[in-house]
């Protein structure tokens, strides 16, 4: 009887933990200096690189995963902001959020497996005092749409 209780407890703990969004980061080698952490509420979200108001440097590629039954995009974006802030980034350029298909959701309901929502983004550091300035060719990484972006290629965006 004790072993059945342990199994149920383990399943309960696993289901609670699977409801969380986790974000991992692949730090890029382009960071010019180590920066102090930034509070998540001070990390700005941008839908497109062209919306970033100044020159910036790419810090890391972010990948988030969460169970679609227990998470939503807002929780995913908050997890990305938190991870970016830990790395000293003050901005996040969002990429894609993929939803599980209908088959995955049905399988999750029937078999009790997870149907995962996934998101990708780039953590950036926006240099202070560069709002409204035209990026120059000497900057480490800017928001110019015509530049080759190694990080964009890694997450599937066209160069």
Is 87 in contact with 48 (CB distance < 8 Å)?
no
More confident residue, 1 or 150: 1
Instruction: Report the distance separating Cα 123 and Cα 60, nearest Å.
Output: 5
Q: Would the pLDDT of 142 be above 50?
A: no
Instruction: Report the distance separating Cα 114 and Cα 132, nearest Å.
Output: 44
Instruction: Report the distance separating Cα 39 and Cα 90, nearest Å.
Output: 9
Q: Which residues pair with 98 in a beta bridge?
A: 118
Instruction: Report the distance separating Cα 66 and Cα 64, nearest Å.
Output: 7
Which range among 93-97, 111-115, 139-143 shows the weakest confidence by mean pLDDT? 139-143
And the tokens for 34? Answer: 């180590």
Instruction: Report the distance separating Cα 135 and Cα 57, nearest Å.
Output: 12
More confident residue, 133 or 47: 47
Summarize pLDDT for 25-58 with one digit per residue, the tens. Answer: 999 976 667 899 999 999 999 999 999 999 999 9
Summarize pLDDT for 63-110 with one digit per residue, the tens. Answer: 988 886 677 888 989 999 999 999 999 999 998 876 655 565 555 556
């Amino acid at each position: 009887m004790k072993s059945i209780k342990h199994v149920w407890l383990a399943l309960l703990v696993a289901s609670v933990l699977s409801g969380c969004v986790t974000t991992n980061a692949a730090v890029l080698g382009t960071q010019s200096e180590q920066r102090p952490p930034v509070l998540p509420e001070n990390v700005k979200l941008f839908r497109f690189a062209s919306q970033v108001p100044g020159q910036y440097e790419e810090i890391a590629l972010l990948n988030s995963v969460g169970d679609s039954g227990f998470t939503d995009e807002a929780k995913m974006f908050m997890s990305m902001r938190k991870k970016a802030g830990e790395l000293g980034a003050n901005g996040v350029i969002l990429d894609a959020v993929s939803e599980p298909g209908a088959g995955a959701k049905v399988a999750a309901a029937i078999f009790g497996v997870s149907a995962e929502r996934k998101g990708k983004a780039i953590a950036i550091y926006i240099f202070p005092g560069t709002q409204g300035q035209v990026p120059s060719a000497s900057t480490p990484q800017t928001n110019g749409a015509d530049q080759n972006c190694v990080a964009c290629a890694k997450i599937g965006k066209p160069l």
